[in-house]
A and B are shown apart, each in its own frame.
Chain A
Amino acid sequence: EAEVAQSPRYKITEKSQAVAFWCDPISGHATLYWYRQILGQGPELLVQFQDESVVDDSQLPKDRFSAERLKGVDSTLKIQPAELGDSAMYLCASSRDNGEKLFFGSGTQLSVL
């Protein structure tokens, strides 16, 4: 069964350092999403791609976060510099149809010390 691949699984960093997360969506899924999930809460959308184009990044803190999906397949989410409040699970998801039946990866658990 096809899955959304994410790496690394865990990341520990110090504040002010740069971190990057990688995601490979399910083959054929044009829409890719990055969500952030704080413990005990539901995921919140950071950025949504349709192929290589950003269609929604209204909740992305653009002063420190950036995301790209250069060839419309895999994607990278970067934080620079990391802050203590960025500690969370970062989830990547993909879907065939916009906004429907999202499939999630296992996430990257980020701890900023």
Chain B
Amino acid sequence: GESVGLHLPTLSVQEGDNSIINCAYSNSASDYFIWYKQESGKGPQFIIDIRSNMDKRQGQRVTVLLNKTVKHLSLQIAATQPGDSAVYFCAERPIGGTSYGKLTFGQGTILTVHP
């Protein structure tokens, strides 16, 4: 079936650097995308979301970019801090097929920030 996937399962950066976490999605019918951060032993924490009629959205230190042409989603974290170390998941919401309306998660990227 269609799924959301990630290019890089791990990412290591130095404190203060900018981080970019990438996500490729295969369902061109998805209308909504969302990024979550999950720390060890905790539930996913909402970071930022974006609708398919937008190509960029900014939050506090984070930016999500959506490229529908190549079906690519990215999360940019500015001035990465050790507290940003976690697993990051992207998720999509298809508007067609058997997964209609269901938020479907990718496998996650482990971000490690070194002091």
Contact = CB atoms under 8 A, between A and B. Distances in A.
Interface residues of A, number: 24
Interface in B26-45: 32, 34, 36, 41-45
Contacts of A40: 107-108
Interface residues of B, number: 23
Nearest to B51: A100
B103 A41 contact: no
B32 A100 contact: yes
Nearest to B105: A42
A103 B45 CA distance: 7
Contacts of A98: 101
Given A41-B107, A42-B106, A101 B34 contact: yes
Contacts of B4: 42
Interface in B65-106: 89, 91, 93, 98, 101-106
B89 to A, nearest CB: 5
The 7 closest A-B pairs by CB, nearest first: A42-B105, A104-B43, A99-B101, A104-B44, A99-B93, A107-B43, A106-B43
Interface of A: 4, 6, 40-45, 48, 56, 58, 91, 93, 98-107, 109
